[in-house]
Structure 1
Amino acid sequence: MGRQKTMMPHTSQVRRRKLSVVAIAVCVTVAIAGTTLSAAEPVQFEKHVRPILKTHCFLCHGEAGVIKGKLDLRLRRWLVRGGESGAAIAPGKPADSYLLNRIRSGEMPPGDKKLSTVEIDVIQRWIAAGATTARPEPETIQGNEYLSEEDRSYWAFQPVVRPDVPQAKNRHQVQSPIDAFLLRRLEEKQLEMSQLAGPTVLIRRLTFDLTGLPPTPEEVQRFVEDRKPGAWERAVQRLLASPQYGERWGRHWLDAAGYADSEGYSDDDRVRPSAFRFRDYVIRSFNTDRPFDEFITQQLAGDELVPPPGQTLAPGQIEALAATGYLRMAPDGTGSGGVDAMVARNEVVADTIRIVSTSLLGLTVGCARCHDHRYDPISQADYYRMRAIFEPALDPKSWKTPDGRKLSLYTDADRAEKKRVEAEAVKVDDERKKKTEFYITRTLEEELLLVPEDVREPLRAAYRLASGKRSDDQKKLLKKYPSVANISGGSLYLYDRRREVRAGKLDAARRQKEKKFLEAARKAHPDETVTQASLAKLNPKAAAELEADRKAANRLRSEKAADDLKTFTARAEEIRSKIPREGFLRALTEVPGKVPTTFVHFRGDHQQPKQKVEPAELAVLNLKTPVKLPLNDKSVPTTGRRLAYARHLVSGRHPLVARVIVNRIWMHHFGRGLVSSPGDFGVLGERPTHPELLDWLADEFVRGGWQVKRLHRLILGSWAYRQSSRRTPGLDRLDPDNLLLGRMSIRRLESESLRDAILAISGSMNAKMFGEPVSVMEDAVGQIVLGKENLDGERKPTKTIDLEGEQFRRSLYVQVRRTRPLGVLETFDVPVMTPNCSKRASSNVAPQSLMLMNSDFVVEYSERLAQRVESDAGPDRRSQVLRAWQLAYGVTPPAEVTDEMMGFVQRQVAAFEKIKKKGDTTTPDKRAMANLCQALISANRFLYID
């Protein structure tokens, strides 16, 4: 892969082990594969020991039919039975247990990854306690798959059950059922939610949240002055109805979907010309409040909802097929050279499964590609059953490269217009051909005059004969006279130069001849003044000869074949420029009638196919609401697998999908999900802080028709969302991480919102929506900036390419290159799609401050903001600093802050006066105001949402 972004680890990636002191006894708690075990708690094989063995030992002792040393560790009785070296454990006798001794000595497992002392202690305690099981074990494990009771009972795999809304003591803070759930947890610790934030804080929070842009000072003022009941609800409705809502919330989904405008996989990171149509589909879907069940179904199986694509696509087909771009977002190197084709194809399938499983299921199914999942109850067979759902459209054995998958958006009218315009252009082409032949003939005759007369006719005949029909003598003759042999339409410009040289020689000869004629005339007419003008009267024949020479030279200069032919080419190009541009869709489709067979790949190696599998839901999710996916649905032109799977996911009975979606929406409103690992609801992920609230929201979402805007209104109408972010000693002591949501969390602007906010307040933003992305390039010093490639081999600009205002568009429309993230966005943690992003990092590092101080982008737009301030406020300096603060923060500053800004500007003016140079076009006043604007942009008040 290309350059990868280094990110701060998420809390879901860093597992914490806590020491807690309980009143009388010290109780050590340890994390074992997502469960917690105290020193006083009995060790259970199923809950504590088996997960350890599965993680470290099953690969060689039980999984995929591999039983090294004839020792299978998957069941307790097989441990007692042992293998070639005897019993693996001696119940009640840890010291005599062969397995434990090999682990303690470091001999097992092989390699660098050894068991921790905590894990070894768990196994030792279990053996010492008699090595018992909580329940009878199965007689055998069918197909190497076994789901324990612990696997089956894991919270995320249970059906969503709508809980009753609890009764809170602090009823005045219950503005929504959400508040009741939160207050119950808070009241258990004698806490309550914080007071409501002020109106200026709320409108800024809400506007950024729903549109990704700052409110204007006028919008803030209108909200503050709106005293009528329902002011908040009206603000919510106004922002949900704005086009910028779809841009903001579409960006969130594009993270989960792994949206990119380049293929990735290899260093060349080829551009995807048509990926933007999926981005536009997502934006429109959020703006129109497309029900999320329909949204999911179209993305997974849009092509199966409409007739197979023909020569012309209907609008409904275009929409449904554009949606399947979701399944075309994975890095795809199959169209590049220098890669192993089968490896690259299988990687595309694997990354597609990662995107689907993390964005919709909240599971890391990809971890089961090479072996059973080490922590979650997902077998390797499960992985390949899921792969079988998508393989009819992503079959490595019948592969289509990215170019081979694109679908034309040409209509019948486009094709008719193209045919008409092309016919017109062909007429010009024909004229050019005739003119070219004329010039070739003229040049040939001119060149023949320069060779001996006796070879002119043989040369002419040899030249006119097709090369394959020439005799050896003719070939030799042409080789002897290359000036004739090399005449062609493409070389006429060279003969134009030869004509120019000949014209020069004619001019020189004419001047010499004229000189002689004048001298002769002066001798013949000594009493007259002989000039060029009078020569015509004195010697008409000489004058006529000179005029003929002059015209011959001018004719040689003016009748340039190449220049004349260029006019024909330009005319044809101008005509062809009117041909309707052909657009394409990056879509996923199946080849009708092809039903591939899917096999489990031993150790994930595509060259080692083993048992055959059929499409199916993950076994652990298929227990309570079993679903049978079709192998080949005869009622549709495709296999129908993805459509059946999509309908299963959005049936309302799936335990994960609604939970995952509402959790993701909650995360974007509060900065943290109820499950803080939105892409991993599995054992290694975090547990929900409020499981009942999560289930209530999931059920409410489904009951409400999967309407996202309805869910927004529900969340935004809560006291919890509108509360202050102010910290208090009580909250910090009892809930330092704000998991109980006794206050709102302060959040830093995401990279795109930061750039967009700067564009907005400076008055520079181009609000154009949709369409092709704004291209990025590497500049002369290696920074990734907006622009079209214009560097030569020495990395020097060859020309300036005008972006025609495109550089002012929102960051959503900036080209997403996997190896070339825009510099200003990369500094503030824009994710690199490898293959997608479930949760963004939010770092606080020195390069961010340096970027705000020194980047060309911030400096330029600070100057633009200063220009806007002067335009809005006029020449009065105090009015200018007031306006600068208002534009940056939406409110009027207190008098003391205004005085501080005035002092800052005055000091800056004085400093710039001292270093002012003759010829400076920017006055010290303008520079000082630009510096103030840059300071406002760089302040935490601008960078963070309160």
Structure 2
Amino acid sequence: MLRPLLLTLSIVASPLTANAGDVLTYEQHIRPILKAHCFQCHGEAGKREGELDLRLRRLIVAGGESGPTIEAGDPDASLLVERVRSGEMPPIDKKLSDNEVETISKWIESGAQTARAEPESIGDDPVFTTEEREFWSFRSVHRPTVPKTSNTARLRTAIDNFILARLEPEGMELSPVTNRRALIRRAYFDLLGLPPTPEATDAFVADESPAAYERLIDRLLASPHYGERWGRHWLDVAGYADSEGYTEDDPPREWAYHYRDYVIDSFNAAKPFDSFIHEQIAGDEMIPPRSGDLTAEQIQNLTATGFLRMAPDGTGVGGVDQDVARNEVVADTITIVSTSLMGLSVGCARCHDHRYDPIPTRDYYRLRAVFAPALNWKAWKLPQQRRVSLYTKANHEQAASINAEAAKIDKQREVKAQQYIERTLAEELATLPEPIREPIRVAYKTAGKERTTEQQQLLKDHPSVANISVGSLYLYDRRRDERARKIDVERKAKETRFIEETQKRAGVAVTAATLAKFNPEAAAELKRDAEAAAKLRAEKAADDLKRYTERAAAIRADIPRHVFLRAVTETDEKTPATFVFHRGDHQQPKEQVGPGGLSVLEQRLASDIAANEESLPSTGRRLALARRFTSRDYPLTARVIANRIWLHHFGRGIVNTPGDFGVLGDRPTHPDLLDWLAVEFIESGWQVKRLHRLIMLSSVYRQSSQRTEQHDSLDPDNKLYARMSLRRLESEQVRDAMLAISGQLNTKMFGDPVPVMEDAVGQIVIGKENLDGERKPVNPIALQGEEFRRSIYVQVRRSRILAELEAFDAPEMTPNCDRRSSSNVAPQSLFFMNSQQTVNVANVLAQRVIDEAGIDVTRQVTRVWRLVFGLRPTAEEVDAASALLQQQRELLGKATDRPRELTPETAALSTLCQALLSSNRFLYID
């Protein structure tokens, strides 16, 4: 049984080692090894340590200061083999593997052959071999001939031909078609990220029309939830986040949600993907200069450039090296662009020529030059400075009109407040002894800076007068005027007694200070009484003034909200120069370069990227790059996007490294199918929904996920698609499905993100922090149902990922995510067993089941099975669930810690709901 082993080897063999039987050549087998490990010192950028250049076979033979490096036919006599076997070279941590050393040895032993005649001379410019230029992902996209197959009964779309053409030589065939309940659940989760309702499932199962499934796909593609599901996929590769990252503080990134909404809307509107790319890379370069209010087109295109604002950005915070932070933003932006649209990680070329792919450092900085006019690190614009206001002239006029109306109320309040102050002053003075009333009144009316020492002391001794202000009218406790008058009467009686005592001494003024000399306790009591009376008299004034304030606030509530976009535009009149940074160090600029792309592709492309496009108000560099990405002769982008769409339907890509189509990435399992899909994509007008239909209408997609012994022995990883792979729900699908099943899902679309916060035990949960005066959390602010919105609208904080999403592998955007992992770990089970979120959902689901199925246990079990799993329970499952419910009712009826709001029957049903939600049948799509 060698076939499974050989099949696996043919798919995953290392690009830097040779298979048995290969004719070893320098270009195909040896140069990639030396480039990865040795060129940095022996050939790259003019470096020739020891006068040794390894870039050509004849230069290797010639050797350097130590003499010839190889002896053709005799590896044991070859200095190169001696040095790499001993580990002396390369002199860095990453040594050659045993397989790589063996490949070099066998190449020398077989005569150290080349694939073709070598050039007579070689300079310091990048040299690309034919093998590099003809690497599979750099070859032009072509429409392959659809292969013929023996089994024609299963052919629905050309996809089936390509898959069967690989299966049949291996003695394999497609699995049977899955059942309809599984198929509709698969389609719903794939296109909408939500489960079908029991009613939708029943209707589909009952529809015997041959076109029933096709109509189902069309309905799902027309749903607004489609954009939410597939927009989330793109937001991953775009690195979408609602926070800046870069520092531990991870400050919020206000207004980022506009880009999220743009993405969702673009998918729902079936926007051609080439336009989608153009707008995100260069939306600002596609619109006329701004003048007056922004048009709908300008808003859309500027919003799209938020794609270039998604990288972590530390330039708006203190305590960081700003030059470093700026250059990191540029580098991360290039990473996001290259992995999402080129399928290459060009970042390796930032410091040195890419070790494996034909991407020299110079190409990296040519690509950087494309973005330099908008992301000029020497004339950087902080995040707040890049905001684009959406306020219109009409908004400003409306705001001015509303403010003018509210100002009238403010003026009325000021007049009223002054009246209350005068009244309060008069009332307060009336409670004081006659001799000091006028001096205190004058002191109060005198401006603070102009008061004499005596006046200051007089007011200090009588705080009930000194503290009269508009603000004080709001600070007092709510009492009644009668109580204030009662205190005044009591106070006057006390004052009379005090005055009588003090007047026994001639020349003694009646003040709190002098009273304290005769009767300290009485003076303190007098002071307290005075303040209490003043507070109580302020009640009516406070209520009255509050009404004015509330009226003004209600009027101002209609002022249009000032909204901004996070956009990218070119702002400098002078185009900045771009230099190659030596070893990536911005403090060591070397050669100046102009804008460009990958040199290895230049011969395939019709045009260069101009340094300055005269027909545009900007340089036009980014627009030229975007158009290059979507040109018919560009080999990468259409393949990359078609592969991503396939990946999200099958759980693995035709190229299973969607962000790396380079040498270290996986080779395509079905290269002709990938090219066919890419051409279909281009020729359909870059319509994503067209690819959905082709894929989902195929027999390959409709297969059962049932494993067989034959399939497991021949293709254990299902790389040839002889069955549908079992897939775990992604994090957002888990949460959204639970909300939908329980009936809690809030389907509101777009707008501000649902906030997250840290709870008392340090977990990140949905909620809005409510901090007291010491910035300690108190009761969270109610979200009015916003907490039940879909997960795509939940705030994405790089350092504060929602706990229930993080448990199911929600990615941390550093800077983006080109493919999610799908783990199976203990915290996921603990989430279902112990989390308050699951308990809450189970309680609500239990009540929903009771409302819809009544008190009959069999009906309850059937309903919850249909809601959670989309199918009806078997008789055995009904019996087992009924027994569990009976047991739980008895236990919970005796329990003292059961929530009071739950009856034993509801609590028992909640336990069953929680158990079903915790099951693999809910968590996986088959």
TM over 0.5: yes
Which of 823, 826, 830 is matched with 1:846 structurally?
A: 826
Question: How far is the alpha carbon of 1:131 from its aligned partner?
Answer: 3.5
The residue aligned with 1:701 is 681
The residue aligned with 1:190 is 171
Residues 109-124 of structure 1 correspond to what in structure 2 (within 5 A)? 109-124=90-105
The residue aligned with 1:58 is 39
Q: 1:820-854, CA deviations, whole angstroms, 9 ceiling, x for partnerless residues?
A: 11111111111111111111101111111111111
**Residue 631 (1) aligns with residue 611 (2):** yes
Say if 1:303 and 1:324, in contact at 8 Å, map to a contact too: yes
CA distance in 2, matches of 1:828, 1:605: 38
**Unpaired stretches in structure 1, ≥5 consecutive residues:** 1-17, 517-549
The residue aligned with 2:340 is 359
Which of 365, 371, 392 is matched with 2:373 structurally?
A: 392
The residue aligned with 2:520 is none
Residues 789-800 of structure 1 correspond to what in structure 2 (within 5 A)? 789-790=769-770, 797-800=777-780
**Residue 382 (1) aligns with residue 382 (2):** no
Q: 1:145-197, CA deviations, whole angstroms, 9 ceiling, x for partnerless residues?
A: 11111111101000011111111110001111110111111111121111111
Q: 1:749-790, CA deviations, whole angstroms, 9 ceiling, x for partnerless residues?
A: 111111111111111111111111111101000111100013
SS of structure 1 residue aligned to 2:754: coil
More divergent stretch after superposition (731-740 vs 564-573) = 564-573
Question: How far is the alpha carbon of 1:911 from its aligned partner?
Answer: 2.1
SS of structure 1 residue aligned to 2:879: helix
Say if 1:503 and 1:553, in contact at 8 Å, map to a contact too: no
Question: How far is the alpha carbon of 1:801 from its aligned partner?
Answer: 1.2
The residue aligned with 1:779 is 759
The residue aligned with 1:268 is 249
Change in CA separation of 1:557 and 1:205 when aligned onto 2, cut-off 3 Å: closer
**Residue 82 (1) aligns with residue 74 (2):** no
Say if 1:727 and 1:743, in contact at 8 Å, map to a contact too: yes
CA distance in 2, matches of 1:509, 1:263: 61
| TM-score normalised over the length of structure 2 | 0.89
**Residue 423 (1) aligns with residue 404 (2):** yes
> Partner amino acid for 1:580?
P
Say if 1:79 and 1:87, in contact at 8 Å, map to a contact too: yes
> Partner amino acid for 1:131?
A
**Residue 68 (1) aligns with residue 35 (2):** no
Change in CA separation of 1:52 and 1:192 when aligned onto 2, cut-off 3 Å: same
The residue aligned with 2:197 is 216
Change in CA separation of 1:458 and 1:775 when aligned onto 2, cut-off 3 Å: closer
Change in CA separation of 1:659 and 1:466 when aligned onto 2, cut-off 3 Å: same
Residues 527-546 of structure 1 correspond to what in structure 2 (within 5 A)? none
CA distance in 2, matches of 1:679, 1:495: 61
Question: How far is the alpha carbon of 1:913 from its aligned partner?
Answer: 2.8
More divergent stretch after superposition (931-940 vs 118-127) = 118-127
Question: How far is the alpha carbon of 1:122 from its aligned partner?
Answer: 2.4
Say if 1:264 and 1:331, in contact at 8 Å, map to a contact too: yes
CA distance in 2, matches of 1:697, 1:256: 20
The residue aligned with 1:714 is 694
Which of 831, 849, 854 is matched with 2:811 structurally?
A: 831
> Partner amino acid for 1:866?
A
Change in CA separation of 1:725 and 1:506 when aligned onto 2, cut-off 3 Å: closer
Residues 492-571 of structure 1 correspond to what in structure 2 (within 5 A)? 492=472, 506-511=488-493, 557-559=536-538, 568-571=548-551
> Partner amino acid for 2:598?
L
Change in CA separation of 1:633 and 1:935 when aligned onto 2, cut-off 3 Å: same
Say if 1:20 and 1:29, in contact at 8 Å, map to a contact too: no
> Partner amino acid for 1:397?
K
SS of structure 2 residue aligned to 1:284: helix
The residue aligned with 2:525 is none
Question: How far is the alpha carbon of 1:880 from its aligned partner?
Answer: 0.9
Change in CA separation of 1:188 and 1:635 when aligned onto 2, cut-off 3 Å: same
**Residue 242 (1) aligns with residue 232 (2):** no
CA distance in 2, matches of 1:816, 1:100: 52
Say if 1:32 and 1:52, in contact at 8 Å, map to a contact too: no
**Unpaired stretches in structure 2, ≥5 consecutive residues:** 499-528
SS of structure 1 residue aligned to 2:603: coil
SS of structure 2 residue aligned to 1:610: strand
Change in CA separation of 1:845 and 1:665 when aligned onto 2, cut-off 3 Å: same
The residue aligned with 1:342 is 323
Question: How far is the alpha carbon of 1:141 from its aligned partner?
Answer: 3.9
CA distance in 2, matches of 1:413, 1:503: 53
Change in CA separation of 1:841 and 1:793 when aligned onto 2, cut-off 3 Å: farther
Residues 140-539 of structure 1 correspond to what in structure 2 (within 5 A)? 140-431=121-412, 464=446, 467=449, 483=460, 492=472, 506-511=488-493
Q: 1:687-734, CA deviations, whole angstroms, 9 ceiling, x for partnerless residues?
A: 111111111111111111111111111111111111111111221121
The residue aligned with 1:893 is 873
The residue aligned with 2:28 is 47
Aligned alpha-carbon RMSD (Å): 3.4
Question: How far is the alpha carbon of 1:489 from its aligned partner?
Answer: 5.7
Question: How far is the alpha carbon of 1:390 from its aligned partner?
Answer: 1.1
Change in CA separation of 1:419 and 1:552 when aligned onto 2, cut-off 3 Å: same
CA distance in 2, matches of 1:385, 1:441: 74
Question: How far is the alpha carbon of 1:915 from its aligned partner?
Answer: 2.6
Question: How far is the alpha carbon of 1:596 from its aligned partner?
Answer: 1.3
Say if 2:17 and 2:99, in contact at 8 Å, map to a contact too: no
Question: How far is the alpha carbon of 1:443 from its aligned partner?
Answer: 8.4
SS of structure 2 residue aligned to 1:612: strand
Which of 692, 695, 705 is matched with 1:725 structurally?
A: 705
Question: How far is the alpha carbon of 1:137 from its aligned partner?
Answer: 2.7
Say if 1:92 and 1:130, in contact at 8 Å, map to a contact too: yes
Q: 1:99-155, CA deviations, whole angstroms, 9 ceiling, x for partnerless residues?
A: 443333333323322222222222333334443433233344444311111111101
CA distance in 2, matches of 1:30, 1:173: 25
The residue aligned with 1:648 is 628
Residues 731-742 of structure 1 correspond to what in structure 2 (within 5 A)? 731-742=711-722
Percent identity over paired residues: 54
CA distance in 2, matches of 1:415, 1:464: 41
> Partner amino acid for 2:591?
Q
The residue aligned with 2:795 is 815
SS of structure 2 residue aligned to 1:623: helix
> Partner amino acid for 2:58?
R
Change in CA separation of 1:801 and 1:48 when aligned onto 2, cut-off 3 Å: same
SS of structure 1 residue aligned to 2:910: helix
Question: How far is the alpha carbon of 1:422 from its aligned partner?
Answer: 1.4
CA distance in 2, matches of 1:698, 1:189: 26
More divergent stretch after superposition (502-511 vs 73-82) = 502-511
CA distance in 1, matches of 2:530, 2:90: 97
Change in CA separation of 1:234 and 1:40 when aligned onto 2, cut-off 3 Å: closer
Q: 1:574-629, CA deviations, whole angstroms, 9 ceiling, x for partnerless residues?
A: 33222111111111111163311111111111111111111112111212224211
Question: How far is the alpha carbon of 1:568 from its aligned partner?
Answer: 4.8
The residue aligned with 1:590 is 570
The residue aligned with 2:514 is none
**Residue 884 (1) aligns with residue 864 (2):** yes
Say if 1:261 and 1:275, in contact at 8 Å, map to a contact too: yes
Say if 1:629 and 1:645, in contact at 8 Å, map to a contact too: yes
CA distance in 1, matches of 2:14, 2:751: 46
Say if 1:776 and 1:814, in contact at 8 Å, map to a contact too: yes
SS of structure 1 residue aligned to 2:700: helix
CA distance in 1, matches of 2:916, 2:661: 40
Change in CA separation of 1:21 and 1:907 when aligned onto 2, cut-off 3 Å: closer
Change in CA separation of 1:46 and 1:552 when aligned onto 2, cut-off 3 Å: closer
CA distance in 2, matches of 1:417, 1:742: 64
SS of structure 2 residue aligned to 1:721: coil
The residue aligned with 1:944 is 924
The residue aligned with 1:608 is 588
Q: 1:353-406, CA deviations, whole angstroms, 9 ceiling, x for partnerless residues?
A: 111111111111111111111110011111111111111111111211111111
